[in-house]
Amino acid sequence: MSIIRAGRVVEAGTLADLRHLTRTSVDAELVAPPDGLARLAGVHDLAVEGHRVRFQVETDRIDEAVGALHRVGIRSLVAQPPTLEELFLRHYGDRVEG
């Protein structure tokens, strides 16, 4: 698979290879509110509502983020790798080149 921008290949590889280029979405319900999650490198768009957290984490930082959740206590956890659309938008965003 290749992502082409302005006539040039900007990334190439399998979908699994390209997923490391963007963030994984995490949604978790915890035993208690998280402590220190906002300070972790690679965590973005953190939203905390009581014992529920939602955030994006750089794929190579998932282990640290899940470790922080584990220390608090996890009731439920959903981690979703980036979709093909998210990989594409990383290179194109909302800009259209003509």
Q: What is the pLDDT of residues 4-31, one digit of tens each?
A: 767 777 667 676 666 566 788 999 999 9
The full set of domain ranges for the chain reads 1-21+82-98, 23-81
When the candidates are 3.30.70, 3.40.1350, 2.30.29, 3.30.450, the CATH number that belongs to 23-81 is 3.30.70
Query: What is the pLDDT at residue 37?
Result: 92
43, 57 in Cβ contact below 8 A? yes
Question: Quick one: pLDDT at residue 96?
Answer: 43
Residue 21 pLDDT:
63
SS3 63: helix
Q: Which two tokens stand for residue 34?
A: 């998280």
| Cα 25 to Cα 80: distance, rounded to the nearest angstrom | 5
pLDDT at position 9 is 74
Q: pLDDT under 50 in the chain at which residues?
A: 95-98
Distances, alpha carbon 66 to alpha carbons 14, 61, 93, in Å: 25, 9, 28
- Supply the pTM of this predicted model: 0.70
What is the model's pLDDT at position 97?
47
